[in-house]
């Protein structure tokens, strides 16, 4: 009897173990219902550190610095790859046969971003080839994670070489088609600009703003679109630069949409929240159109008094935080789930201008929005939580080759005399008063950081770490697409793996 009892216990234990293993397996395979992707356009680690010092007095104390998972991402596009290939006398990019190290070389550019890897070769990033620094633009970078394909500079969800019918299905189109999710894009720059556009439109030229805006609002028709580019403020002749008055009027006449516009002397935060409430109560989509003369939301203005306080430049545009919350409130009504991309696009614009205070203000804007999203997920009064949500913060590329030369205190901005522009590493010198240097006003091919929180974030990312760059924790931006697709539980049409790398260890 004892022997039989022991056998029964063994069988029961094995069965229980198998059940637990199956439950764990199913739990790991269970897709999320909500994906919130934040993009800090043109943001690299030195910008993060500078903003964290200004806001908190500490180097890495932004909200996303506490996320459960972090890795590094390469951002090169086909144009970048071909520049390096031409210089090295090697074949141009072929999706079925390429060497990732030609697009980004960790032995020269570092296995981690500066300053985590202090020994990167400055000349690798700051040597022009055919008149330009090899680096992606936002359109091709965004296309990579939105579709899983590398493409040419300037392409919006379109195959390289601009073939006829070269449209690529985006992650937002996949989740809508396969899982019936609601989708949305939010940006502080024109909604027809590259980063929002790659998720909800297709074009061979990112500058075809009118066609892109028309496709977004009259064909793709996301549940939420909030951004800049209002034609009353951002004009090109008598017409809007980023959207025509005809398209705007068509959306106003569309019974599917609630349209909220920038209005003189009206608080944009109040307007966008009221628009979200109206959209919710009427079961409609939300289109929020704001922006100033440049098309973007006038960027927040940091004080220089040691407090770390940042003020709105005007009340007429919403903050990214309020725009994000409005989007989330509308999107969460879909019981099937949602995908939203939220971009702080002015970080890039500030870095193009080598404008340190402008950059700080936009980084504050991003940080506030991420904090609001975290609190949204953690709200106990709905069914959205970290078990069914994935929240990511990433950048599409570096910009400006900015370096913090001295640590600034909380709420401290450098004086103009303490900022050195056109700094050439190895040639230029800086004196004891220099606190910040800029080497360019262009994009750079530097690694950027990716931060993730939520449903099996670490498991989703770990299997891609170092697959293109053995011995590192680098993923490629095309692999971010595969991660998003797996998280959402949609089909993942993978590109062919890269050519086998030389059998040698990466330098440590």
Q: Calculate mean pLDDT across residues 376-401.
A: 97
Could you identify the residue written with the tokens 């050439």? 424
Report d(CA 481, CA 185) in Å as an integer: 16
Report d(CA 457, CA 455) in Å as an integer: 5
Quote the pTM value: 0.92
Report d(CA 400, CA 133) in Å as an integer: 11
Report d(CA 337, CA 322) in Å as an integer: 21
Q: Calculate mean pLDDT across residues 438-447.
A: 98
Q: Which residue has the higher pLDDT, 500 or 121?
A: 121
Report d(CA 27, CA 29) in Å as an integer: 5
Query: What phi and psi, each to the nearest 5 degrees, are found at residue 474?
Result: -90, 135
Could you identify the residue written with the tokens 């440049």? 294
- Which pLDDT does position 135 carry in this prediction? 98
Q: What integer best gives the mean pLDDT of the chain?
A: 92
Strands annotated E in 41-145: 69-74
Report d(CA 455, CA 337) in Å as an integer: 14
* pLDDT band with cut points at 50, 70 and 90 for residue 192: very high
Q: Which residue has the higher pLDDT, 8 or 93?
A: 93
**End-to-end C-alpha distance for the chain, whole angstroms:** 62
Query: What phi and psi, each to the nearest 5 degrees, are found at residue 460?
Result: -60, -40
* pLDDT band with cut points at 50, 70 and 90 for residue 82: very high
* pLDDT tens per residue across span 308-319: 999 999 999 999
Residue 428 has pLDDT above 60, yes or no: yes
Q: Calculate mean pLDDT across residues 105-112.
A: 98
Q: Tokens for 443?
A: 């994009």
Residue 393 has pLDDT above 50, yes or no: yes
- Which pLDDT does position 29 carry in this prediction? 62
- Which pLDDT does position 238 carry in this prediction? 85
Give, in order, the Cα–Cα distances in Å from 172 to each of 58, 146, 169, 175, 475.
36, 8, 8, 5, 21
Question: Which of these, 372, 377, 242, 389, lies nearest to 318 by C-alpha position?
Answer: 372
So where are the chain's domains?
Answer: 32-488
Report d(CA 444, CA 440) in Å as an integer: 9
Report d(CA 351, CA 342) in Å as an integer: 19
* pLDDT tens per residue across span 487-503: 999 997 654 444 434 33
Report d(CA 138, CA 192) in Å as an integer: 12
- CATH 3.40.720.10 for the 32-488 domain, yes or no: yes
Q: Which residue has the higher pLDDT, 271 or 431?
A: 271
Instruction: Yes or no: say if 250 and 230 are a contact pair by the CB < 8 Å rule.
Output: no
Could you identify the residue written with the tokens 């262009």? 442
């Amino acid at each position: 009897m004892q022997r039989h009892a022991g056998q029964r216990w063994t069988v029961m234990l094995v069965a229980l173990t198998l059940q637990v293993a199956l439950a764990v397996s199913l739990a790991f395979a269970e897709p999320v219902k909500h994906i919130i992707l934040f993009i800090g356009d043109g943001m690299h680690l030195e910008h993060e550190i500078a903003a964290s010092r200004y806001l908190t007095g500490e180097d890495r104390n932004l909200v996303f610095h506490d996320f459960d998972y972090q890795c590094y991402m390469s951002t090169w596009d086909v144009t970048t790859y071909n520049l390096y290939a031409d210089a090295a006398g090697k074949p141009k990019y072929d999706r079925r046969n390429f060497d990732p190290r030609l697009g980004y070389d960790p032995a020269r550019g570092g296995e981690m971003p500066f300053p985590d890897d202090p020994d990167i070769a400055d000349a690798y990033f700051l040597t022009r080839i055919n008149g330009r620094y090899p680096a992606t633009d936002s359109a091709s970078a965004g296309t990579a994670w939105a579709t899983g394909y590398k493409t040419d500079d300037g392409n919006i969800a379109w195959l390289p070489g601009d073939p006829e019918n070269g449209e690529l299905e985006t992650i937002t189109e996949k989740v809508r088609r396969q899982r019936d999710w609601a989708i949305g894009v939010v940006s502080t720059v024109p909604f027809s600009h590259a980063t929002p556009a790659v998720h909800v439109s297709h074009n061979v030229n990112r500058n075809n703003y009118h066609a892109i805006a028309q496709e977004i609002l009259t064909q793709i028709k996301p549940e939420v679109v909030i951004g800049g580019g209002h034609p009353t403020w951002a004009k090109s002749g008598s017409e809007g630069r980023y959207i025509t008055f005809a398209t705007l009027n068509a959306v106003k006449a569309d019974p599917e949409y609630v349209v909220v516009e920038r209005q003189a002397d009206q608080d944009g935060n109040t307007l966008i929240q009221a628009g979200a409430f109206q959209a919710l109560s009427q079961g409609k989509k939300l289109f929020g159109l704001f922006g100033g003369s440049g098309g973007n939301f006038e960027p927040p203005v940091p004080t220089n008094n040691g407090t770390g306080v940042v003020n709105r430049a005007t009340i007429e545009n919403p903050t990214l935080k309020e725009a994000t919350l409005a989007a989330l409130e509308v999107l969460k009504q879909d019981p099937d789930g949602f995908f939203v991309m939220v971009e702080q696009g002015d970080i890039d614009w500030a870095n193009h201008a080598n404008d340190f205070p402008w950059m700080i203000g936009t980084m504050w804007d991003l940080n506030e929005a991420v904090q609001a999203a975290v609190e949204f997920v953690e709200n106990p009064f709905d069914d959205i939580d970290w078990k069914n949500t994935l929240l990511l913060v990433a950048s599409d590329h570096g910009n400006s080759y900015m370096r913090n030369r001295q640590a600034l205190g909380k709420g401290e901005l450098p004086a103009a005399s303490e900022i050195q522009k056109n700094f050439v590493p190895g040639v230029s010198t800086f004196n004891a008063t220099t606190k910040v240097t800029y080497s360019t006003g262009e994009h750079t091919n530097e690694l950027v950081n990716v931060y993730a929180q939520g449903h099996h974030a670490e498991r989703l990312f770990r299997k891609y770490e170092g697959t293109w760059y053995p011995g590192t924790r680098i993923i490629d931006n095309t692999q971010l697409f595969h991660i998003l697709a797996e998280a959402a539980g949609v089909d993942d049409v993978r590109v062919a793996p890269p050519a086998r790398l030389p059998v040698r260890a990466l330098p440590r």
